[in-house]
């Protein structure tokens, strides 16, 4: 999957993956991590997600990484947030009081930028990658998350042959096979959300499960 795919999606505003509300699993399970106020939280492939507002409301400092310049600028302008621009190597940096977004390729994001994070949150990153790129992303995430740091991962699972992603299906078996080398994995909840997703219903996808995991980076 080329970067141009995502650039085009944002340019054309074909962003069905963007939610106009905070993810309920985030609200329900983020307190389980027990992070203190002023913790830095990393959000990979953050888009312009409102979930970042929730994290900021918990008095965290949010560090996001997003490929699309359109998405990054929209996050600030849509919400009337004044920001400053700078640059670190290959990434443009857009910063406000509690949110800093690194615009560029996550695969080249320097690990020192996330070395002080105390938590992370992935709702739209892992499921954005097709099978052939997903393992590379997991390796990159593991390199960006320091030892003993915990976060939430939210996935979708469905019969992949019934719908062309993204979002792509990520099964519990895939999680067990590829994440446990780097993270301690705990399933917190799995729910049938087919009725709430009209695109999947229209395409006659027979089932759709949304799951939330707690991941803790191994030492």
- Would you list the DSSP string of 153-218? EEEEE--GGGS--SSPP--HHHHHHHTTTTEEEEEEEEEE-GGG-HHHHHTT-S--EEEEEEEEE-
pLDDT of residue 8: 55
pTM (predicted TM-score): 0.92
pLDDT of residue 6: 43
Structure letter (DSSP) for residue 107: G
Average pLDDT over residues 150-154: 98
Average pLDDT over residues 121-148: 96
Q: Are strands 99-103 and 61-66 parallel, antiparallel or unpaired?
A: parallel
pLDDT band (50, 70, 90) for residue 20: confident
**Residue 67, both tokens:** 């490929």
Give strand pairing partners of 191. Answer: 210
Residue 140 near residue 129, CB atoms below 8 Å: no
Report the run of H or E that residue 152 belongs to, with start and end.
Answer: strand 150-157
- Other beta carbons within 10 angstroms of residue 140's beta carbon come to 18
Report whether pLDDT(17) > 90.
no
Phi, psi for 151 (deg, rounded to 5) = -160, 180
Residue-wise pLDDT for 89-126, tens only, equals: 999 999 999 999 999 999 999 999 999 999 999 999 99
The mean predicted confidence, pLDDT, of the chain is 92
Residue-wise pLDDT for 54-89, tens only, equals: 999 999 999 999 999 999 999 999 889 999 999 999
Query: How many residues appear in the chain?
Result: 219
**Residue 46, both tokens:** 């953050």
Report the run of H or E that residue 134 belongs to, with start and end.
Answer: helix 131-144
Q: Which domains, ranges and CATH numbers included, belong to the chain? A: 3-13+21-217 (3.40.50.150)
Report whether pLDDT(16) > 70.
no
The phi-psi region of residue 99 (left if phi > 0; otherwise alpha if psi is between -120 and 50; otherwise beta) is beta
**Residue 65, both tokens:** 């990484």
Q: What is the largest CA-CA distance in the chain?
A: 47
Nearest Cα neighbor of 135 from 195, 177, 90 is 177
């Amino acid at each position: 999957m080329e970067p141009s795919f995502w650039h085009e999606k944002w340019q054309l505003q074909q962003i069905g993956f963007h939610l106009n509300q905070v993810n309920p699993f985030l609200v329900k399970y983020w307190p389980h991590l027990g992070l203190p106020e002023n913790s830095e939280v990393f959000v990979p492939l953050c888009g312009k997600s409102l979930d970042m507002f929730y994290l900021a409301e918990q008095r965290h400092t949010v560090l996001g990484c997003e490929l699309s310049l359109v998405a990054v600028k929209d996050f600030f302008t849509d919400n009337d947030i004044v920001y400053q621009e700078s640059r670190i190597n290959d990434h443009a940096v857009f910063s406000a009081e509690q949110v800093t977004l690194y615009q560029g390729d996550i695969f080249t994001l320097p690990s020192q930028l996330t070395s002080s994070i105390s938590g992370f949150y992935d709702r739209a990153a892992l499921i954005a990658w097709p099978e052939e790129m997903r393992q590379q992303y997991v390796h990159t995430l593991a390199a960006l998350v320091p030892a003993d740091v915990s976060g939430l991962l939210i996935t979708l699972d469905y019969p992949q042959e019934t719908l062309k992603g993204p979002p792509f299906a990520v099964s519990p078996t895939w999680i067990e096979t590829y994440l446990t080398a780097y993270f301690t994995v705990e399933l917190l909840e799995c729910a049938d959300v087919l009725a709430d997703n009209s695109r999947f219903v229209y395409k006659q996808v027979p089932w759709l499960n949304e799951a939330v995991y707690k991941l803790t980076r191994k030492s």
